[in-house]
Amino acid sequence: MKFLLPLSLSLLSLFSVSAQAQAPTALVVAQASSKGTATAQFKTSAVCDMCKARIEKSLAYEKGVQSAVLDVPSKVLTVTYKTDKTTPAALRTAVQKTGYDADDLTADARAYNRLPDCCKKTNAVH
C-alpha cells in the first residue's frame, strides 16, 4: 500500500500539467466564438416564472442561440446569439411562436391560446 501514494501523487501532477497545457487552446476557442456573437433585447408579454421558463426553453432550441434570459419584472428577454446563424428578426419570430409578443409584434394566436390562463397577457406581472 505504501507505494500507491507517491504513484497517485505523480499521476495528479501529470494531470495538472496536461490541464495547463490545454488552457491556451480553450482560451482561443472562447475568443473565436465570442467574435461572431451579439446580444439583442426584446420586450415580451411574459407575466410570470412559467412564462420565463417557457420562453427561455423555446429560445434555447432556436438555431444560433447561446443564451436566453428573461427578466420577469421588466418582461425583457436578453438573447446572446451567433450572428452567422440567426437574426434578431428570427428570434422575435421564435418568441411569437412561443405565444408571446416580441417588441411591436403580436404573439402567434394559436400558441397564445394554448398558454395557461395565468400566462395570458391580460394579467399583471405576478
Per CB under 5 A, residues contacting Cu ion are 48, 50-51, 119
**Least CB distance from residue 71 to Cu ion, whole Å?**
14
Q: Residue 26 contacts by C-beta under 8 Å, 6 or more apart in sequence? A: none
> Least distance (Å) from Cu ion to the CB of residue 51?
3
Residue whose CB is nearest to Cu ion in the complex, by number:
119
| Alpha-helical runs (H) found in the chain | 4-35, 49-60, 88-98, 109-114
Nearer to Cu ion, 51 or 77 (CB): 51
d(CA 98, CA 114): 10
CB 65 within 8 A of CB 86: yes
User: By C-beta, is 34 or 123 nearer to Cu ion?
Assistant: 123
**Minimum distance, C-beta of residue 118 to Cu ion, in the bound complex (Å):** 6
